[in-house]
Chain A
Amino acid sequence: MDHVLVNVLGYERQAGRHQIYVLRLRGKQVACTLISHGVREIGDDLMAVMAQQMGITLSQLRKLVAGEMSRDEYYGLLQERGE
């Protein structure tokens, strides 16, 4: 998930107890997600919350992870919701 967020989608990873990821577009922070210190594995429940934090649905996040959706398509979805 870290690889997808940072290398594919362009999120910045912030240092801290938890891994907080920030997405900046056109000088604005438009989305923020995190992997908490307590996480051992990322199952469906957790992915669903992360998808919500990222402004998309669980099925869209699954497509991103599987490489079936591009960064530009994701950015387009964020723009559609006004970010």
Chain B
Amino acid sequence: MYTPLAAATPPNLTRDNLAVIGRGGGFGGSSLPETLAALPMRQQKRLADEARTYYQALDRAIGRILAPSVGRTGDQFMAVDEVIPLYGVGATPDEAIADYRSVVVEYYESLEEDVDELGQALQGQLAVLRQVFGQVDQG
């Protein structure tokens, strides 16, 4: 059964920031982690809190709609759902879930980019993923 991750380490990337990087927005030649580290501590904490809140909401929505399970495969762990299906792999269950979450985000953005040319099956997958991110946006 999929268990949402406890936010022990503040994530340093948000979807909005990743989107900026994806569009070539950049941060004056610095990487995003470097840029965040150069911000005032209060600003860093606020962004980390926002990212943690977003990730927790995303984990809840993923758990409700995609309900991935985690199991061992060879010497690694794999998180996989039976809805799309999407998967993530890692050396630990937490790493597999983090990889899975990252796959969900990237796969969803990939489908949204090409929404006008999706075949029937991929349209169905996008509809499911829109439910996931719709729930996240509603908090």
Interface residues of A (CB under 8 A from B): 14, 16-18, 20, 22, 24, 27-32, 34, 36-41, 43, 45-46, 49, 52-53, 55, 81-83
Contact = CB atoms under 8 A, between A and B. Distances in A.
Given A38-B90, A45-B78, A32 B95 contact: no
Given A29-B118, A40-B76, A83-B121, A20 B90 contact: no
A45 B74 CA distance: 9
Categorize the interface residue count of chain B.
20 to 34
A43 B77 CA distance: 12
A30 B102 contact: no
B74 A14 contact: no
Q: Which 7 A-B pairs have the closest CB atoms?
A: A38-B89, A38-B99, A45-B73, A30-B119, A28-B119, A38-B90, A83-B119
B120 interface: yes
B88 A36 contact: yes
Interface in B17-46: none
Contact of A49 (B87, B102, B110, B120): B87
B118 A49 contact: no
B73 to A, nearest CB: 4
